Structure 1
Amino acid sequence: MFLTSWSADLHAQQPDAKLPLIPYPQEVQTGTGSFKVSGSTTISLTAGKFANEAALLNNLILQKTDKSLKVTSASTTNTIKLVTDAAITNPEAYSLTITRQAIVIAAKDGTGIFRGIETLRQLMPFGSAPVASFSLPVVKISDKPAYEWRGMHLDVSRHFFSIAYLKRYLDLLALYKFNKLHLHLTDDQGWRIEIKKYPKLTQLGAWRTFNNQDSVCIEKSKNNPDFAIDPQHIIVKNGKKLYGGFYTQAQMKDVIAYAAKRHIDIIPEIDMPGHMMAAINNYPFLSCAGGSKWGELFTTPICPCNESTFEFAQNVFDEIFALFPSKYIHIGGDEVDRTSWGESETCKALMAKEGIKTTAELQSYFINRMEKYFNKHGKKLIGWDEILEDGISPTAMVMYWRSWVPNAPIKAAKNGNKVIMTPGNPLYFDNEPDQNSIYNVYHFNPVPSQLNAQEAQNIIGAQANTWSERIPTENRADYMIFPRITALAERLWTNTQDYDSYLARLDKHYSLLEALKVNFRVPDFPGLVQNNVFTESTTLDVKKPLPGLKLYYTLDGSLPNQKSTQLTAPLNINRTQHIRLLGITPSGIRSDVYELNYDKQTLAEPATANNVAAGLNCSYYPAFFKKSSLITGTPAAQYVVNSVIVPAEATAPSFGLKYSGYLDVPSTGIYTFYLTCDDGGILKIAGRTVVDNEGMHSAIEKDGQVALKQGLQPIALDFIEGGGGFALKLKYSKDGSAPADVPSSWLKH
């Protein structure tokens, strides 16, 4: 039945880009020929096992051919066999063997069979139009995951998402072999899950008038319709326009069952003791202050010093435990403003009674008590890494997110806690993507280098988080998640580094995503620079990142669309102007709008300076600045740095840095500089603003050009860190070269 010889694809270190598989399997052997799937093909089961998986496979084939296959117990040729293999012990492992006569998917149980079906799915033709038959290549695959926890997260509190979208999202997670969906169901902005004992949580707590997050989205929708508040989640009640929604328990049971058929666990998060305004506003007894309001950073939390709080929390989780079969339940535990606890006489009395010295220890008291309640009901508690502060039991699971606290996952793993890695950089998919986002996700290593082999086993995997403050629609969610999710899928399943092969396979997956009607982010147009300069003239010559992409542009500042001028040939530019450029795929998916500035410049004359020394001056201002242009005052310290990095001495929560000196430019020409900042920065060279990466934002790269003569050119770089982790990087290129670090030999002062 099987071929007797195979051409070995050398494990996953050298993936075959001809097989468009993401994540790439652990072991692949390719053969010659193919197996034809047609209406006469059958699906063969042993003793009635894997009926659920057979039905899902049949549905995939129905989508391709408009025909379902006969399911039988007979073992014949021209069949797809789903069989048990006692030699396979990992519950998610499988083997997939395709010969000219049959297909066999073997596994320990249904989970592995389903993972094999999803691999088979990626070998099917990617088109959306039905075909009478299709062929699958002869191949032998042996596969299993590198990490136990391969998760994605979705915040449905800040903005709400429909049941239909959750199911579609689950299908896409299954396609890329994720096994966890973490649903952030409650927060200050909305309570999204029905709790029958406390009906006001959803009757009132699920609805709001438009808030500041909505206002930002509405403003952005003027240039991008994907930011328009989704009208399906807007109602009018008592003359007020309200935004929101919630899932009934019956609806959520349906979603959970849908996920279970696809062997995905749904992990619910009921965030407490902080982020509870939606609950406290309707049940004021929950807080020490008798209500909730915004403090300097966060909202008033629930009070851990009243038994009525624990009664409420336990009643809520009783319904959550009954609803969600997952053994993991997320309690949040992050960003708690403990001011009201410190002012509460009840809390002072409890702290004295229990020997609790600080409000941080009081938070640990709450989390540890809730964990015991979870464990009593057969559930395991997960919390954000703040739950490590002032002690937790080694049985709690820690979800690490604070990139600026690098010791947190190390501390947790050494304490014996199981750790799920979700650092904001690069795994917060609500952070704006740029041309480096996919690279950064693909090269993320979940295991900190400071752990030994035994401690590293406590890092059970990772997930990406998608917070929805700035994501008001399903289209925008797609854009932020895809295709970044594919890089994480391969990182967590295959756990190898073959980026070039991955990119080649990803190129083929864009057509699959398009056929599945996913509003993915169109790949960056290679070589484009936002702020361009020229001395006489230049050319806009765009290399299309996807076949079939049509380009449209405007010169009058208006937003380009399909009625705008189409760019079909290189555009000559000989004067200062602003161009807005847009790409649209055949199915109507829009790229980012590229804002291209062209500035006619003279070559900057070099400065005359004597007795210059190596390195740049760096002045340090430990204070909070909203913009780098607002850095003022006397610096607390000054340093000389040999590269554009943040000095180790810059340890304040918020600070500003001013770099100054010269670039010793080796040759005359047009130079492109790439400035990555988290938070903001402005780069000036020869007195000209080259890159404006201003504002409070995650690590984003922006670029710009400047015309320079050989010699010493003044450089000034102002940078701010607003709190929560910094990033600063400066690269350059010239005459189309690949971006590279600015050499230390160029830096003078």
Structure 2
Amino acid sequence: MQRFFFLISLCTLSILVRAQDPSQRYPIIPFPSSLVPATGQFTITANTALLVQDKRFANEGQQLQELLQPALGKQLTANASASKILLQHDPSITSAEGYALRITPQQITLKAGQPAGMFRAIQTIRQLLPIGIEQPAKPLASLTLPAVTIQDQPAYAWRGMHLDVSRHFYSIDYLKTFIDRLALYKFNTFHLHLTDDQGWRLEINAYPKLTTIGAWRTFNNQDSVVLKRAVTNPDFDLPKQFLRQQDGQTQYGGFYTQAQMRDLIAYAAARHIDIVPEIDMPGHLSAAIKAYPFLSCTGQDGWGKTFSVPVCPCNEPTYTFMETVLSEIIALFPSQYVHIGADEVEKSTWAQTPACLELMKRENLKNVEELQSYFVHRIEQFVQSKGKKLMVWDDALEGGLKPSSTVMYWRSWVKNAPQKAVQNGNNIVMTPVSHLYFDSPPGSQSVENVYKLPVVPQDIPASQARRFLGAQANIWTEYIPTENRVDYMSMPRMTALAEMVWSAKKDYPSYQKRLLQHYLRMEQMGIHYRLPDLTGFAEENVFVDKAALSIRKPLASYKLRYTTNGTPPTATSPELPAALTIDKPQTVQVAAFTPSGVRGDVYALRYQQQAYAQPVTPAGTQAGLTCDLLKKYFKATTFMKDLPADSTYLINNLTVPKTVTAPSFGTRFRGYLRVPETGVYSFFYTCDDGGVLRIANRLVVDNDGNHFPIEKSGQVALAKGMHPFEADFIEGGGGFTLKLKYSVNGSAPAAIPDSWFTH
């Protein structure tokens, strides 16, 4: 009888495990290629044995020890024990980063063909362990892991993050912390942007002025902007340790010695992360030209029509300088790639320099774009002579590029650049500004936009897909002066990218559930992440008689606090009740607070009282909207007012006609919106660049100006029937986003049906 009961219990437990959502029990990001749930759990104690059964995994065994020791209070031994963790070599696992993991109640077995794969397996173990493993207050008696069988390997070879340390400078300690986060989410590439107009950040022995002069600056216009923002947000304050007094001036900057960089490279290599150095050339080199003026054609640094004055590709001393610098870079960095940028080059000085005109004639170069390619080809020849590969931004395609160069595609408005690159035989890393520039302001859709970006564009032939090595996100730091701000801008978007480039199968709803548990881990790790968005409301709200503000907390551990006196909420502000009654015009400011006191974004919810707009009855209406197209650049939609349209289209919904190819334009959508019931309607207007929405002759959403994709929302009280509809939209160049959703009386946002529009 007892045996029968035991069998029933096992069957019941098995059913429960199978029924449980894997995203809850196994909150792994990126999610493995194959995961089979199992019953039970493995318990790690101080008596558990850690057996590294192949010496090639000695480093990874030590990494696992360092993960577990703070929580258990001692290192695990290799003595025979009933409870074991085994690290084994498996030659059948041919992917360098692939691994197999099996957890049973009796044993943990990690298998890999290469050390990198074993390290990735340990990161999976880390994510399955309780979050207390990250900052244990005191030794624990035990740690538990859920039983499971995993087979895993990455979908793409290039899984990277970029950090610009030139615009603003960050300590070596923070770079190590950043690498730790890359390791946790199974990235393998850290692209370090070491030089730009604003600062040269790496010691070069042959040219000491690059750091004694080029690493420092007086405050520039970007520094002035962040200092103004620092008045209300300390995340924008310039770090005091990177300020110095020199010649009666306050200077800002810093640099890494080669010894420091060698230590950082070793730190990353132990975590199987490759640091790719970028020394931008021939443009973005004001810091170097300031230190060595002979590098420019004019003998001085400065600014051209669009970008900074570049180095001169027509003088041999330029190549001596570049080859000497690159020799030290190549000797320092084991990466197979050297990135030279080759983007945004102001070529006007070249066209006016006799030496350049003579060189162009001698080499039969038709224009200054081909002159840039001449420079890139010479640098590539040198880099290849040192056994390295050249990497450039996609701008370098314009004057001609050799197939041996690898291209980073960033200019999302140049739609044919990926096709042009693959047709030329170049490999590509995807990093489009539209989705993967993490210096763009994060918003309610930014994580989803990253997650759902295809690594291989849809119009690429299957035969050319192999040329897409993977993807990375870039953090350009003009307005990111502190480590906390880097955290905020990168997390949690970095986790979405991690799954996008690792996991062959995508499941965004599952990822969202797993991400909620990762917020708790980030909290424990001290990451100053951007808290998940608060939802269920609009920014501009209306009520007829009264309304109730009700916001669901993203995580139970958060507290929602609010104010109505015009000041942002603090940790001592009152908690938001389950339903806050609104019966008079006012502004309610709401923010979420983590247990450690980190405040999320502050939402200012403005309320105004409004009567239901009465419907109109125009005669002779037809389905759809009219769309006026103006082929011109606009800073704001207001500049389109009263201007004649270049052409007019009839469309079914709020979309830009597919035939529109102008890089910059404005559109005016006009017609009527027929709503099926009386109610308070919320509208969510996403624009890149800007837009304004008016319904029933009332301003509903103001999302104007030139900016990255941003969703803004507003409400309007509408009686059942037809109402005047006006939507303006501008695109300033660089690729556009235009979306409009609605909800009524608190329903989930949805696309507006075509049948609602008439004109």
- The question of a shared fold, defined as TM-score above 0.5 by the shorter chain, is answered with yes
- Give the C-alpha shift of residue 76 in structure 1: 5.0
1:716-740 superposed Cα distances (whole Å, 9 cap, x missing partner): 2222222222221212111222222
TM-score, normalised relative to structure 1: 0.96
Q: Does 1:46 align with 2:53?
A: yes
Work out the CA distance in 1 between the residues paired with 2:312 and 2:459.
Answer: 37
Alignment of 1:616-627 (within 5 A): 616-627=625-636
Alignment of 1:11-410 (within 5 A): 15-46=22-53, 48-70=55-77, 72=78, 77-127=82-132, 128-129=135-136, 130=138, 131-410=140-419
Work out the CA distance in 1 between the residues paired with 2:699 and 2:677.
Answer: 20
Q: Does 1:670 align with 2:677?
A: no
Q: Aligned letter for 2:267?
A: Y
Contact kept, 8 Å, 1:256 with 1:266, in 2: the verdict is: yes
Q: Does 1:433 align with 2:449?
A: no
Q: Does 1:605 align with 2:610?
A: no
- Give the C-alpha shift of residue 15 in structure 1: 4.9
Secondary structure at 1:695 match in 2: coil
1:574-603 superposed Cα distances (whole Å, 9 cap, x missing partner): 111111112110012211000111111111
Contact kept, 8 Å, 1:679 with 1:726, in 2: the verdict is: yes
Q: Does 1:451 align with 2:498?
A: no
Secondary structure at 1:122 match in 2: helix
Work out the CA distance in 1 between the residues paired with 2:367 and 2:95.
Answer: 45
Q: Aligned letter for 1:553?
A: Y
- Give the C-alpha shift of residue 413 in structure 1: 2.0
Contact kept, 8 Å, 2:613 with 2:717, in 1: the verdict is: yes
Greater mean alpha carbon deviation, residues 460-469 or residues 234-243: 234-243
- Give the C-alpha shift of residue 629 in structure 1: 1.7
Q: In 2 relative to 1, CA 75–456 (structure 1 residues): closer, same or farther, beyond 3 Å?
A: farther
Q: Aligned letter for 1:103?
A: I
1:473-492 superposed Cα distances (whole Å, 9 cap, x missing partner): 11111111111111111111
User: 1:711 aligns to what?
Assistant: 721
Contact kept, 8 Å, 1:10 with 1:28, in 2: the verdict is: no
1:327-380 superposed Cα distances (whole Å, 9 cap, x missing partner): 111111111121111122111111111111011111111112111111110111
Contact kept, 8 Å, 2:27 with 2:127, in 1: the verdict is: yes
Greater mean alpha carbon deviation, residues 430-439 or residues 294-303: 294-303
Q: Unpaired segments of 5 or more residues in structure 1?
A: none
1:669-723 superposed Cα distances (whole Å, 9 cap, x missing partner): 1111111111111111122111111222111111111111222212222222222
Q: Aligned letter for 1:368?
A: H
- Give the C-alpha shift of residue 528 in structure 1: 2.3
Work out the CA distance in 2 between the residues paired with 1:617 and 1:33.
Answer: 62
User: 2:699 aligns to what?
Assistant: 689
Q: Aligned letter for 1:79?
A: K
User: 2:662 aligns to what?
Assistant: 652
- Give the C-alpha shift of residue 631 in structure 1: 2.3
Percent of aligned pairs with the same amino acid: 51
User: 1:742 aligns to what?
Assistant: 752
Contact kept, 8 Å, 1:615 with 1:641, in 2: the verdict is: yes
Q: Does 1:700 align with 2:710?
A: yes
Q: In 2 relative to 1, CA 8–196 (structure 1 residues): closer, same or farther, beyond 3 Å?
A: farther
Q: Aligned letter for 2:474?
A: N
Q: Aligned letter for 1:685?
A: I
- Give the C-alpha shift of residue 8 in structure 1: 12
Work out the CA distance in 1 between the residues paired with 2:669 and 2:303.
Answer: 36
Q: In 2 relative to 1, CA 75–50 (structure 1 residues): closer, same or farther, beyond 3 Å?
A: farther
- Give the C-alpha shift of residue 9 in structure 1: 13
Q: In 2 relative to 1, CA 99–597 (structure 1 residues): closer, same or farther, beyond 3 Å?
A: same
Secondary structure at 2:86 match in 1: strand
- Give the C-alpha shift of residue 637 in structure 1: 2.4
- Give the C-alpha shift of residue 385 in structure 1: 0.8
Q: In the alignment, which of 454, 476, 501 is matched to residue 467 of structure 1?
A: 476
Contact kept, 8 Å, 2:54 with 2:89, in 1: the verdict is: no
Greater mean alpha carbon deviation, residues 722-731 or residues 263-272: 722-731
Contact kept, 8 Å, 1:17 with 1:502, in 2: the verdict is: no
Q: Aligned letter for 1:106?
A: K
Contact kept, 8 Å, 1:429 with 1:464, in 2: the verdict is: yes
Q: In the alignment, which of 729, 739, 748 is matched to residue 729 of structure 1?
A: 739
- Give the C-alpha shift of residue 282 in structure 1: 1.9
Contact kept, 8 Å, 1:9 with 1:16, in 2: the verdict is: no
Q: In 2 relative to 1, CA 453–654 (structure 1 residues): closer, same or farther, beyond 3 Å?
A: closer
Q: Aligned letter for 1:528?
A: F
Q: Aligned letter for 1:365?
A: Y
Contact kept, 8 Å, 1:44 with 1:82, in 2: the verdict is: yes
Secondary structure at 1:17 match in 2: helix
Q: In 2 relative to 1, CA 47–720 (structure 1 residues): closer, same or farther, beyond 3 Å?
A: closer
Work out the CA distance in 1 between the residues paired with 2:697 and 2:616.
Answer: 11
Contact kept, 8 Å, 1:656 with 1:720, in 2: the verdict is: yes
Contact kept, 8 Å, 1:272 with 1:331, in 2: the verdict is: yes
Greater mean alpha carbon deviation, residues 560-569 or residues 466-475: 560-569
Contact kept, 8 Å, 2:213 with 2:290, in 1: the verdict is: no
Secondary structure at 2:291 match in 1: coil
TM-score, normalised relative to structure 2: 0.94
1:379-417 superposed Cα distances (whole Å, 9 cap, x missing partner): 111111111113211111011111111211122123221
Greater mean alpha carbon deviation, residues 658-667 or residues 205-214: 658-667
Q: Aligned letter for 2:758?
A: K
Contact kept, 8 Å, 1:233 with 1:243, in 2: the verdict is: yes
Alignment of 1:500-579 (within 5 A): 500-579=509-588
Work out the CA distance in 2 between the residues paired with 1:119 and 1:645.
Answer: 43
Q: Aligned letter for 1:643?
A: N
Question: Cα RMSD between the aligned structures?
Answer: 2.0
User: 2:597 aligns to what?
Assistant: 588
Secondary structure at 1:457 match in 2: helix
Work out the CA distance in 2 between the residues paired with 1:204 and 1:540.
Answer: 56
Work out the CA distance in 2 between the residues paired with 1:222 and 1:558.
Answer: 14
- Give the C-alpha shift of residue 194 in structure 1: 1.1
- Give the C-alpha shift of residue 468 in structure 1: 0.9
Contact kept, 8 Å, 2:23 with 2:513, in 1: the verdict is: no
- Give the C-alpha shift of residue 177 in structure 1: 0.3
Q: Aligned letter for 1:155?
A: D
Q: Aligned letter for 1:233?
A: F
Secondary structure at 2:131 match in 1: coil
Q: Aligned letter for 1:413?
A: V
Alignment length, in residue pairs? 741
Secondary structure at 2:475 match in 1: coil
1:547-582 superposed Cα distances (whole Å, 9 cap, x missing partner): 221122221211221232332342111111111112
Work out the CA distance in 1 between the residues paired with 2:486 and 2:386.
Answer: 34
